[in-house]
Amino acid sequence: MKKAILIVQCSDQKGIVAEVSRFLYSYNGNILEVDQHVDVEMGMFFMRAAWELDSFFLGKDEILPRFEEEVGKRFKMEIKLHFDFPRPRMAIFVSKLSHCLFDILGRHHAGQLEVDIPVVVSNHSDLKPIVEAFGIPFFIIPVSSSNKESAEALQLQLLEEHRVDFVVLARYMQILSGDFIRHFPNRIINIHHSFLPAFVGARPYHAAFERGVKIIGATAHYVTEELDAGPIIEQEVARVRHHNTIAELVQIGQDVEKVTLSKAIKYHLDRKVLAFRNKTIIFY
Ligand SMILES: Nc1nc2c(c(=O)[nH]1)N[C@@H](CN(C=O)c1ccc(C(=O)N[C@@H](CCC(=O)O)C(=O)O)cc1)CN2
């Protein structure tokens, strides 16, 4: 079944849900999913609706202009319209750690992620055998402080050639430039191995161990120019004890990273994430 997904935001006012529903019903739309949120403090309304396309009276290209004309203009809406076909194309960036990569590839192999993975990009060769065993092209682009601009140019060229829709940083340990990020606004997902905003930057497990925390966590977020400061998509935590070694903290934490990242990817693929003023609304 083919599905359309509408995400709107506007100033909060009465009648929005009714008018969106009326629009879809008037063109024979069968609503499959609907969720909304009102930020009372900001006076903002947010809504996501998904409906069957098969029997819908409007063609793909007619929906947005017709909705804009009949509903959007009246409420001064910001409108995003998506479809669940063709399958999105996701690139994975890795460095040397394999746990998140293995988890994504395993879930993908098991059919849990409705996405195509045309390419994996790395600044090291370590994970090439793993990726190629899954039949996915692996490109090595070494990155250093002196070649970052040219390396990113090559990365962007690869992503364009492979028609990539979004990028997942699966423990990719290079800071991306603002120019790179501007090619994929709110379309680069990073997994940070701490419960942000605690322990930003490199080596958060070691910082947490030194601090003697009782809970560690992981945070999946959209990447912005400021390090580990982008809109948070998902977070998970796990308890640790005084007797845990740093190696045990890392092992416990890496399991949390995998679950957190895969949930964030799923929300993104389902078009259930709306980033707004550096926070996110995760629709059900
Ligand atoms: N612009 C952004 N780039 C990246 C982000 C981000 O939020 N904004 N997240 C990181 C991931 N990360 C922590 O989760 C992280 C990665 C790398 C570093 C870092 O200091 N890298 C050094 C090089 C280290 C090395 O060569 O091994 C650097 O890039 O100079 C800190 C945090 C991914 N990118």
Confidence at residue 4, expressed as pLDDT on a 0 to 100 scale: 98
CATH superfamily, domain at 3-83: ACT domain (3.30.70.260)
- The tokens for 171 are 């423990």
- What is the pLDDT tens value at each position of the chain, 284 positions in all? 899 999 999 999 999 999 999 999 999 999 999 999 999 999 999 999 999 999 999 999 999 999 999 999 999 999 999 999 999 999 999 999 999 999 999 999 999 999 999 999 999 999 999 999 999 999 999 999 999 999 999 999 999 999 999 999 999 999 999 999 999 999 999 999 999 999 998 899 999 999 999 999 999 999 999 999 999 999 999 999 999 999 999 999 999 999 999 999 999 999 999 999 999 999 99
Domain 89-282 top-level CATH class: alpha beta
Quote ipTM for the complex.
0.94
- What's the CA gap between 191 and 166, in Å, rounded? 14
State the burial class of residue 85 (Cβ atoms within 10 Å of its Cβ: 0-12, 13-18, 19+).
exposed
Helix (H/G/I), strand (E/B), else coil: 55: coil
- What's the CA gap between 27 and 283, in Å, rounded? 24
Q: Is 84 a catalytic residue?
A: no
Confidence at residue 201, expressed as pLDDT on a 0 to 100 scale: 86
Confidence at residue 202, expressed as pLDDT on a 0 to 100 scale: 85
Answer yes or no: same fold for 3-83 and 89-282: no
For the chain, which residues make up each domain, given as ranges? Answer: 3-83, 89-282
Ligand 1 residue neighbourhood (C-beta within 6 Å): 169, 172-176, 190, 192, 201-202, 223, 225, 227-228, 230
- What's the CA gap between 110 and 84, in Å, rounded? 19
Mutating to test ligand 1, I would choose from 123, 143, 168, 174 the residue with most ligand atoms within 8 A of its C-beta, which is 174
- The tokens for 157 are 């060229």
